[in-house]
């Protein structure tokens, strides 16, 4: 076995918690504020927030998924099944983020800071709805990963 089962289980839960937690914190704290900000303030704050989150959150997701694969390969029965479901849910979040959220995020990144992208209000609503759905899936992934090691 390449990685001992207890280490891979600990790593998948740790990185899964950081991955899901980062997504959850954005949903609880930033999305609430962004919804109420004037557009001029929103475009600056959104762009600045994504500057750090966009590279960090996917890295945490990949680390969790890789550890979960090692855990699933070394496990049997319910723990293995839950780890594989966790991997699938993390993958769903990652693929949806690249295909759905990234085009919206790029509208802000391509422009100079403070410049308002065309259709910003529609993008703002769509991004918020997407992020709430992504949060539910990320938390479900975390539930599966932690249940797998419980």
Q: In angstroms, what CA-CA distances link 70 with 4, 17, 140, 142?
A: 9, 17, 20, 16
Closest residue by Cα to residue 56 from 87, 84, 97: 97
Residue pLDDT tens, the chain, 150 long: 556 878 999 999 999 999 999 999 999 999 999 999 999 999 999 999 988 898 999 999 999 999 999 999 999 999 999 999 999 999 999 999 999 999 999 999 999 999 999 999 999 999 999 999 999 999 999 999 999 998
- Domain limits, the chain: 5-149
Q: CA-CA distance, 126 to 34, in Å (whole number)?
A: 13
pLDDT confidence of residue 3: 67
pLDDT of the residue at 14? 98
């Amino acid at each position: 076995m390449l990685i001992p089962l207890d280490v891979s289980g600990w790593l998948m839960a740790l990185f899964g918690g950081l991955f899901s937690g980062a997504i959850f914190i954005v949903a609880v704290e930033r999305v609430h504020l962004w919804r109420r900000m004037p557009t001029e303030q929103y475009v600056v704050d959104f762009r600045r927030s994504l500057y750090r989150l966009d590279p960090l959150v996917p890295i945490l997701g990949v680390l969790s998924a890789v550890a979960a694969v090692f855990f699933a390969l070394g496990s049997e029965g319910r723990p293995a099944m839950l780890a594989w479901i966790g991997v699938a849910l993390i993958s769903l979040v990652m693929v949806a983020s690249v295909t759905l959220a990234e085009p919206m995020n790029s509208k802000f990144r391509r422009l100079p800071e403070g410049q308002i992208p065309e259709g910003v209000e529609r993008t703002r609503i769509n991004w918020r709805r997407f992020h709430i759905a992504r949060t539910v899936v990320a938390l479900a992934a975390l539930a599966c990963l932690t249940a797998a090691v419980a």
